[in-house]
Amino acid sequence: MHLTFKPNRLYSLFNSLTYDQFVTKVLHKVFPKNYNVIKSQKLLKYDRTPFRLASVGMIFHSRQNEPHLIIEHRSSHVPRHPNEMALPGGAYDPSVDQNLLDTFARECQEEINVPKKLLEAHSHLRFQTTPTQFMVLPIVCSSKRENLRLKPDLHEIVNISSVSIAELVSTASVNQSVPYFSDCNEFDLPLYHGWSFKLVKGSNKRQHLIWGLTANIIAQFCYLVDKHFFN
């Protein structure tokens, strides 16, 4: 399965929408709410060797009435994926989590200090696997509050970026030389080429590359939006 979408036309779409329009016309229409599925325990059947379950969130919120996505810059001291740009989330803990929505909500509170009550979970994307043997459920969320007060857990997160989804999509590219794939034959998992996005920060226009799992989740989101509006 090779995900394709047109960055230019998605940029035009996202750039033309206010945050409220983005929520109603994109999130509600493209991702029909399946909250009960996300919070159900049936997704936990995949919690078996060799994979561990995890969940992350695409959190959209309003900044200057435009849709922005939250991206973390992980610390160099964390054992997995140090120094990478990532989405908030983490590993499922059966001792405290009843489902993968609980996992995301707990990690979101810990990592960026955003409580579950401020978020609306719309839907989930397809599971993705990582080379570190995790099976990750991406959850699409929107914030009920403008300009979220983000506070990073400095043990895990160096800083947090709120990036315009329109600007981010405009930087999309495909790295054909580094395919990103699952070697698991037991589950029906997508096969993606390696997408990347560039996050531009600060007055010096410093660029951070978003790649791997995080980029492929964003690409999966873009593909579904593109398919809905243009195909």
CATH code that applies to domain 7-230:
3.90.79.10
For residue 188, the model assigns a pLDDT of 41
d(CA 42, CA 51): 16
Q: Count Cα atoms within 13 angstroms, Cβ side, for 173.
A: 10
For residue 179, the model assigns a pLDDT of 41
* C-beta separation of 123 from 186 below 8 A: no
For residue 41, the model assigns a pLDDT of 81
d(CA 134, CA 137): 10
For residue 175, the model assigns a pLDDT of 64
Q: In the block, which residue shows the tokens 């922005």? A: 68
d(CA 23, CA 42): 27
219 three-state secondary structure: helix
Q: Could you give the dihedral angle defined by the CA atoms of residues 115, 120, 122 and 126, in that order, rounded to the nearest 10 degrees?
A: -10
CA distances from 142 to 4, 105, 114 (A): 24, 13, 12
* C-beta separation of 219 from 7 below 8 A: no
**Sequential pLDDT tens for the chain (231 residues):** 456 899 999 999 999 999 999 999 999 999 987 778 888 888 887 766 578 899 999 999 999 999 999 999 887 776 666 678 899 999 999 999 999 999 999 999 999 999 999 999 999 998 888 877 888 999 999 998 877 888 888 788 888 999 999 999 999 987 654 444 444 444 444 444 567 898 877 656 678 888 888 998 999 999 999 999 998
Burial 103-126 (b: 16+ CB within 10 A, else e): bbbbbbeebbebeeebbbbbbbbe
For residue 95, the model assigns a pLDDT of 95
Amino acid identity, position 29: K
Domain residue ranges of the chain, discontinuous segments joined by + = 7-230
Alpha-helix residue ranges (DSSP H) falling in 40-164: 100-112
